[in-house]
A and B are shown apart, each in its own frame.
Chain A
Amino acid sequence: KAGVTQTPRYLIKTRGQQVTLSCSPISGHRSVSWYQQTPGQGLQFLFEYFSETQRNKGNFPGRFSGRQFSNSRSEMNVSTLELGDSALYLCASSRTSGRNEQFFGPGTRLTVL
């Protein structure tokens, strides 16, 4: 069974640009959550999607947005990039919302110059 896949694995952008990250959950999983991991702040919850609906949202500015498609694949978008957005962005999938084990993907390493 294939695991959670994230693309791209590495990304370099400049300030002011926007970026879209993609996450394909494990087959049969309908919940996708996104996290940002930085050395200073650790791992922080961004948002969770279940059946194409955002179920929960963390404390991030509106520049961070996401969506989920009917096949459960999810995308995360960050607009007007700032230097502080440099981080490892992780997505995790689960069979249902909030009740099962999360399986994390390898992450997308975003560097903002």
Chain B
Amino acid sequence: TQLLEQSPQFLSIQEGENLTVYCNSSSVFSSLQWYRQEPGEGPVLLVTVVTGGEVKKLKRLTFQFGDARKDSSLHITAAQPGDTGLYLCAGKLTSGTYKYIFGTGTRLKVLA
């Protein structure tokens, strides 16, 4: 049973466009992370959010954790070809463990 649903699954956009990726669950998470994975490599951590309603910005990327800590979103402004990759959200059900539940991923392609 997949506890974390990501949408959309695939996204192909032109350079300069904005986009939002969603991560939704019926479970409450103690924290939630976003990763980006490129072909042939392992996921690389982008951000960790731990407080309901928290918003974090990383250059052109804005991450938000839902008030109830059940959902999150990733917004990219003015996408660039270097943003291409598989974006994964991962929720931790219990603190003090690495038993993360990963979303199915959003595959983003930014065309020059």
Number of interface residues of A (CB under 8 A): 26
Across the two chains, which residue of chain B brings its CB closest to A58? B99
A55 interfacial by beta-carbon distance below 8 Å: yes
B2, B42, B88, B100 — most chain A CB neighbours (10 Å): B42
Q: Are A43 and B102 in contact (CB under 8 A)?
A: yes
Q: Are B45 and A45 in contact (CB under 8 A)?
A: no
Q: Are A92 and B42 in contact (CB under 8 A)?
A: yes
- Closest Cβ–Cβ distance, residue B46 to chain A (whole Å): 11
Size range of the interface on B?
Answer: 20 to 34
B42, B98, B99 — most chain A CB neighbours (10 Å): B98
B85 interfacial by beta-carbon distance below 8 Å: no
Q: Are A48 and B98 in contact (CB under 8 A)?
A: yes
Q: Are A94 and B98 in contact (CB under 8 A)?
A: yes
Known: A4-B42, A106-B40. A98 touches B103 (CB 8 A): no
Of the A-B pairs whose beta carbons lie under 8 Å apart in the complex, a sample of 5, sorted by A's number, is: A43-B90, A43-B102, A92-B42, A97-B96, A106-B41
